[in-house]
């Protein structure tokens, strides 16, 4: 006998993967404590996409100075690096020694999209994760289904900002995120601490996935007491709540994407300039530039 919550959980999971132009794209956010299978959730979504929709383009955003998660996937992967950015791939098992990993260079967002391969997971590096907001905005105009997977959303849309970055996240949320459904963009993100994500971004999340250890927040009807009762089960899968616009159900996710301990790699940008992760990209500065006349 399937309970109402299990039934709703299945229906919401179907909505996440459905390709229906009338329903459009979707924005999901997975939260939970360390080791709760957050990366496994979006990894399973990425593998499902490359398997069932091999003619569409998939993009994956990695964190800097952290083990690359894309090596866990069953899908093929393709690294791309912005041509004016200097990066170092490092072997974390060998005192951060440099590694020679092949990649394709690109000049701008359009060049990146053209060089991205279909049927695999494309992993671009801009040298600064704030660029992902601009790239997602670019995807609105490509005219076909695209899929974006974002590790640690708080690094891309950080809270507690001021100045032009605060303005850009505000405008990007209400102009780009608001319309991803119409623009056939699927965004699947995760984060450990939801409060570190700008609250204006959270407003446009369509499906929240709560794993054990997650923190409840005002944009969802799922309570902290309910989350605290979620069970971890390495055999049958960790229990999770899936909340779609106030209608929520339960499901399970198995943590099957174990890290390859013999291949432990991370990436660091260097040489300063916009290659620094802390600097605001020029395309954001240019949007809010005021000329000398004050107009």
Q: Does residue 293 fall inside a structural domain?
A: no
Q: List Cβ<8 Å contacts ≥24 apart for 10-18.
A: 10/249, 10/251, 11/249, 12/207, 12/242, 12/244, 12/247, 12/248, 12/249, 12/251, 13/242, 13/251, 15/207, 15/244, 16/45, 16/207, 17/45, 17/48, 17/49, 17/52
Within a domain: residue 201? yes
Our count of domains for the chain comes to: 1
Reported confidence tier of residue 272, pLDDT bands at 50, 70, 90: very low
What is the per-residue pLDDT across 123-162, written as a single tens digit (0 to 9) for each? 999 999 999 999 999 999 999 999 999 999 999 999 988 8
Q: Report the pLDDT value the prediction gives residue 274, as an integer from 0 to 100.
A: 46
Instruction: Give the integer Cα–Cα distance in Å for 3 and 138.
Output: 42
Pick the more confident residue, 56 or 259. Answer: 56
pLDDT band for 293, please (50, 70, 90 cuts).
very low
294: in domain: no
- Indicate which CATH number applies to the domain containing 66: 3.40.50.300
The model's pTM: 0.93
Is residue 292 a part of any domain in this protein? no
273 has pLDDT over 90: no
Sign of CA dihedral 93, 96, 97, 98: positive
Range of the domain at 163: 4-287
* 154-186 per-position pLDDT tens digit: 999 999 888 999 999 999 999 999 999 999 999
CA pair distance 125, 61, nearest whole angstrom? 8
Is 295 domain-assigned?
Answer: no
Instruction: Give the pLDDT of residue 292.
Output: 44
């Amino acid at each position: 006998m399937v309970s109402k919550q299990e039934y709703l959980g299945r229906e919401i999971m179907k909505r996440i993967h459905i390709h229906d132009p009338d329903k459009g794209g979707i924005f999901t956010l997975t939260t939970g404590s360390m080791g709760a299978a957050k990366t496994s959730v979006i990894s399973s979504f990425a593998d499902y996409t490359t398997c069932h929709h091999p003619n569409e383009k998939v993009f994956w955003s990695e964190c800097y100075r952290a083990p690359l998660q894309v090596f866990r996937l069953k899908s093929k992967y393709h690294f791309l690096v912005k041509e004016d950015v200097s990066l170092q791939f490092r072997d974390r098992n060998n005192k951060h020694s440099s590694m020679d990993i092949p990649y394709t260079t690109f000049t701008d967002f359009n060049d990146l999209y053209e060089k991205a391969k279909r049927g695999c997971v494309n992993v671009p590096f801009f040298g600064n994760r704030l660029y992902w907001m601009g790239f997602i905005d670019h995807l609105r105009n490509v005219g076909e289904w695209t899929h974006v997977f974002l590790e640690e959303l708080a690094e891309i849309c950080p809270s507690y900002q001021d100045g032009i970055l605060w303005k850009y996240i505000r405008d990007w949320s209400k102009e780009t995120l608001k319309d991803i459904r119409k623009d056939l963009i699927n965004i699947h993100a995760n984060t450990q601490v939801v409060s570190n994500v700008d609250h204006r971004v959270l407003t446009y999340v369509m499906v929240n996935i709560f794993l054990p250890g997650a923190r409840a927040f005002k944009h969802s009807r799922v309570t902290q007491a309910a989350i605290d009762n979620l069970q971890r089960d390495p055999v049958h899968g960790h229990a999770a709540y899936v909340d779609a616009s106030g209608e929520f159900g339960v499901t399970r996710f198995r943590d099957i994407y174990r890290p390859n301990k013999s291949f432990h790699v991370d990436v660091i940008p260097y040489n300063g300039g916009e290659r620094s992760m802390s600097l605001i990209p020029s395309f954001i500065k240019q949007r809010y530039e005021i000329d000398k006349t004050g107009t």
